[in-house]
Chains A and B, each alone.
Chain A
Amino acid sequence: MNRLRFFGRDPADAELHAELESYIDVATEENIARGMSREAARCAARRKLGNATCVREEVYLMNGNVIVDSAIAAVRYWLRTLRREPMFAAVAVLTLGLGIGAATAIFTVVNGVLLKPLPYPHPADLVAPGVRFDVPILMSPSLWLTCREQGRSYQSIGIYAGGGASVTGLGEPEQLRALNVTHGVLNAAGVPPLIGRWISREDDTPGSPEVAVLSYGYWQRRFGGDPKVLGRSLTVDDEPRQIVGVMPQSFDFMDENAEIILPLRFERAKLYLGQFAYLGIARLKPGVSIEQANAELAQLYRVWIESWPSILPGSLWKSGRVKAAVSPLSRVVLGDIAGALWTVMGAVGLVLLIACANVANLLLVRAEARQRDWGVRIALGAGKARILCDALAESILLAVAGGVLGLALAYAGVALLRHLEPANLPRLREIRVDLPVVAFAAAVSILAGLIFGLIPAWKYAGSRVTSRLRGALHDGGRAASEGREKRRAQRGLVVVQVALALVMLVTSGLLLRTFEEQRRVRTGFGDPRQAQTFRLTIPGTPISEPERAIRTAHDIVDKLAAIPGVTQAGFASSMPIDLNFRNNDLIIVEGRETKPGENPVSRRLRYISPGFLGASGSRLVAGRDLDWQDIHGLRNVVMVSENLARELWASAQAAIGKRIRDLPENPWREVVGVVEDVRDDGVEHPAPPIVYYPFAMAKYFRFPVVVQHNIAFAVRGQGVGTAGLMSQIRQAVWSVNSSLPLARVLTFQQIYAESMARTSFTTTILVIAAVMALLIGLVGIYGVIAYAVSLRRREAGIRLALGSRPRELQWMFVRSGLALTLAGVAVGLAGAAGAGKLIATQLFGVTPLDPSTYVATPLLLLVASVAACWFPARRAGAVDPAETLRSE
């Protein structure tokens, strides 16, 4: 198409018109010259030319483009109707905008979290090798060395662990999130450093100079992005380290948010079978499949058993119950979020469908009003295809407007989500509105436009247009008998809407009940709103100076307990239910030595101070709590959880006085107390058996004395979460040692909320989606009843004139609305039963067919729809019969 010609069509047409006129003139003159009368000459000339308008149209179309033309016509038409019916356009665009916006926002999350490849080069080659105990896949230093030295599948392989590190000597002391890595971890990830280098093989060899790699954020914050930072010294955990590299801004290894990366070092001579406390990452060589790597790891595992010393009796490692496996790294990153995200995506998809049904309904009502309009156009020679095209173009325009609004809403929603930082939503930093998201919004809008545009177009571009035109011209398109048939499509749509809304309501109701059940669960700790927590690292080398470390810890607890309003204070290696900082290992039970072939179970370990159980709010079931004499005397005592006591010795009482230990060469530790079960893995999971060791012990593991020095404090009392209490806590800590940074300052409630985050995230979005579905569905019912009332005004007037009471008339309309709702509810209940099965894994304490949900939600829907019917029905009762009859 020639642009110039296209835009110059109107002048060209005018010129052609002039040319044809001149033709007639010339031809007339000729005819007169041949002896015709002027009148006859002109007629002959016109006859010869034929239909001048046809000629003009043909030339006009030659320069045009049908699609562009009908788009322009539709825009014009639409802008005109918009001006005439702003409410219709507003409701349609808003409904669509909400539907498309919700779908796009959630798609942004799904895209960023599930669909986008991991942000490392060639992410498909990245795997997590390890041994599968429970859910996580863990690595041990000795297995890692075996794999590194004898494996042939990997370009590089390393192990890592998250942690904390305190930095001193740069203004205020500061606790950083640290990532401890061996050589091979950064190499496998493959993201080159911004400046400097990665952790090298020398760096993780004991005895070589200590180094550190900084994150971009920490580099900017502490060193102002100074490129000369390389080579400078930084005091980390009381040791000077040389800065050797800075990672780029985009690098966030495994969502750890680490600010500093430190080498992880192992002394080869001290390693043995076990120590599965690390995570592994490896990059496969090109062409090596996961299956090949798996087969190799299984073989390396057998090599490993033979090459390292065992410190455990029995033969756990050979039992065949421990499986070595390689899994794609993405599975480790994503965990089980996929199910929740797809549930939410399904929910917003349903909302979008309901929105489409609603707009289709509005369009049906309007198409009714346009019967005459279309009839006239067809009568004047417009093609049916053209009218269909125009109608569709208008729907798509509506959809595009809705899409633009939706994209804006999605953008705002994603910004809000990133601001809220829902915990355990992985890859949050990668969630953004980008090109695929915009493409998705565009595709969804156009698809939606086609869906809701085709329904009325198909309905009304039927063959009987001329007959309809006749009828429409005669009685103004208000034939009630015809209306009934036309409303069938509308009614069908309403039933669909109600059904979908019910599905949404039931599923979100089930999740709400789940949330409620989870909150009601006996968690095993006291009200989390009344406990303040924070982490800190006791300085010094605890192994060489255990007394000093114990003294410092004890002093801090005493100072905290002395704060007015504080009832209990204590600390532990980790807070209950905190998803980070977990520790599991095997224990040996006196009199129940593991037989060969039997699988010793890994237990949750927690190292606690006296008073911690009180501060976290866990009750003592039997025996006594630890006291400070146990600690200072390094007595061989231990506590266990109630379920562990029952499992090993049948009852809590029987556990007192029994003995366990960690390694065969270490002394037995006597159980002095039994603690109630704590839902440590999250309230939806059963409470794991827990061993509570004192935070300071002699002869534990392979050390003469062990003192936990990276610890979490719990302070129970009044004023939790206030700045006042926190400043008192800081003063208390700093009065003991003024260079101790406090990290992870949270209320216990925040840690608790974090563990509920997935359920609450899914539930919140589903409830929002369900409310939207309900509102849009109600607008649909309202629309249908209001339209029925407007069509049957005359009938209502006649009925009133013949003696019907207004109340009866209202009931007549409400009843028809109620019938639609009941039909929708029936369909919806069946759908909900199916949807309930789909989300069954995400439910807790509720069956997918929870009776109260299945009774309450349809009732809610019925009540709401009666209200939606009653408002328009009232208008039928208010018809003035005299006026109606007069207008006949």
Chain B
Amino acid sequence: MQSEMVQGTLDMLILKTLLVGPAHGYTIAETIERSSEDVLQVEHGSLYPALHRLQNRRWIASFWGTSENNRKAKYYRLTPEGRKQLAAQSSRWDEIVRAIGRIMNPGPEKQK
């Protein structure tokens, strides 16, 4: 159950990261970890399969490019379809977060 959720979340986080522009695997992982203030640690063992899966679904596309320090690296970018998917997933995510919040902190009006 938990792993399922994490897996789905990872997909969404990757899409979100790619929203600002193309990036290669290392950058994606770094960005996620940094933006979450190192709360979320990206398992590289699941990062690459996730990238592959997203590519199979045609939500992201890849190309070979050169990294910041002049290394050959595989870059990923968001496809229009992936953009749509991200929008759908984030609104769904918001819903879930709000729902869970209501359960965890019931009746905020009463408390106030």
A residues in contact (CB < 8 Å) with B: 2, 5, 15-16, 18-20, 22-23, 25-27, 29-30, 48-51, 54-55, 58-59, 62-63
A58 to B52: give the CA distance in the assembly, Å.
10
Give the residue among A18, A20, A25, A26 with the most B Cβ atoms within 10 A. Answer: A26
Q: Within B32-60, which residues are at the interface with A (CB < 8 Å)?
A: 43-45, 48-49, 52-53, 56
Q: Is the CB of B49 within 8 A of A22?
A: no
Least CB distance from B51 to A in Å reads 9
How many residues of chain B are within 8 Å of chain A by beta carbon?
18
Closest to B44 in A: A49
Verify A16–B52 contact, CB threshold 8 A.
yes
Which residues of B from 54 to 79 have beta carbons under 8 Å from A? Answer: 56, 67, 69, 71-74
Q: How far is the CB of A209 from chain B (nearest CB, A)?
A: 80
**Is A62's CB under 8 angstroms from B45's CB?**
no
Q: B48 touching A16 by the CB < 8 A rule?
A: yes
- Are A26 and B71 in contact (CB-based, < 8 A)? yes
User: Are B48 and A30 within 8 A (Cβ)?
Assistant: no
Among all A-B residue pairs, the 7 with the closest Cβ atoms: A50-B45, A19-B74, A26-B26, A29-B69, A49-B44, A22-B73, A59-B52
Chain B interface helix/strand/loop/mixed: helix
Q: 25 A-B contacts, Cβ less than 8 Å apart?
A: A2-B56, A5-B56, A18-B74, A19-B48, A19-B73, A20-B48, A22-B71, A23-B24, A23-B26, A23-B73, A26-B24, A26-B67, A26-B73, A29-B71, A30-B30, A49-B44, A50-B43, A50-B44, A51-B45, A54-B45, A55-B44, A58-B49, A59-B49, A62-B53, A63-B56
Q: Is the beta-carbon distance between A48 and B72 smaller than 8 angstroms?
A: no
A30-B26 contact in complex given A22-B74, A51-B45, C-beta closer than 8 Å? yes
State how many angstroms separate the Cβ of B41 from the closest Cβ of chain A.
Answer: 10
Interface residues of B in 1-54 (CB under 8 A from A): 24-26, 30, 43-45, 48-49, 52-53
Give bound CA distance, A848 to B3, whole Å: 71
Q: Chain A residues near B44 (CB, 8 Å)? A: 23, 48-50, 55
Give chain B nearest CB distance to A867 CB in angstroms.
Answer: 63
Residue of A nearest to B69 (CB): A29
- What is the chain B residue whose CB lies nearest that of A45? B26
Q: Which residues of B have CB within 8 Å of A48?
A: 44
A361, B67: Cα distance in complex, Å: 62
How distant is B74 from chain A, measured CB to nearest CB, in Å?
4
CB closest chain-A residue, reference B49: A58
Given A19-B74, A30-B26, A62-B56, A55:B69 Cβ within 8 A: no
Residues of B within 8 A of A27 (CB): 26
> Which residue of chain B is the closest to A48 with respect to CB atoms?
B44
List the B side residues contacting A20 at CB < 8 Å. Answer: 48
5 more contacts with CB within 8 A, not counting A23-B26, A55-B45, are: A5-B56, A18-B72, A22-B71, A30-B26, A51-B45
Q: Give the CA-CA distance A18 to B24 in the complex, in Å.
A: 13
A27 to B68, alpha carbons, bound, how many Å? 11
Residues of chain B with a CB closer than 8 A to A51's CB? 45
Cα A19 to Cα B73 with chains together (Å):
7
Give A29's nearest chain B residue, CB to CB.
B69
A30 to B67, CA, bound (A): 11
A63 to B49 CA separation, bound complex (whole angstroms): 11
A5 to B53, CA, bound (A): 12
Give the chain A neighbours of B74 by CB distance below 8 A: 15, 18-19, 22
A29 vs B71: C-alpha distance in the bound complex, in angstroms?
A: 9
Q: What A residues does B49 contact at CB under 8 A?
A: 55, 58-59, 62
B48 engages A22 (CB within 8 Å): no
Measured CB to CB, the closest approach of chain B to A25, in angstroms, equals: 5
In the complex, the chain B residue whose C-beta lies closest to that of A5 is B56
Instruction: Kindly list chain B residues whose C-beta atoms are within 8 Å of the C-beta of A25.
Output: 71
Alpha-carbon gap, A406 to B56, bound state (A): 44
Bound-state Cα–Cα, A869 to B86, Å: 75
Bound complex: CA of A54 vs CA of B69, how far in Å? Answer: 28
B72 partner residues in chain A, CB cutoff 8 A? 18, 22
The answer, among A18, A23, A50, A62, for a CB contact under 8 Å with B52, is: A62
- Say whether B25 contacts A23, CB under 8 Å: yes
A22–B73 Cα distance when bound, in Å, is 6
Q: Using Cβ atoms and an 8 Å threshold, which residues of chain A touch B69? A: 26, 29
* In the bound complex, CA of A15 to CA of B74 (Å): 9
What is the CA–CA distance of A19 and B52 in the complex, to the nearest angstrom?
Answer: 11
CA distance A18 to B72 in the complex (A): 9
Residue numbers in B under 8 Å from A29 (CB-CB) = 69, 71
Bound-complex Cα distance A5 to B74 (A): 19
Measured CB to CB, the closest approach of chain A to B100, in angstroms, equals 30
- B56 nearest in chain A by CB position: A5
**Within 8 Å CB of B67, what residues of A?**
22, 26
Query: Which B residue sits closest to A57, measured CB to CB?
Result: B49
Taking the closest CB of chain B, its distance from the CB of A154, in whole angstroms, is 67
Which A residues touch B24, using CB under 8 A?
A: 22-23, 26
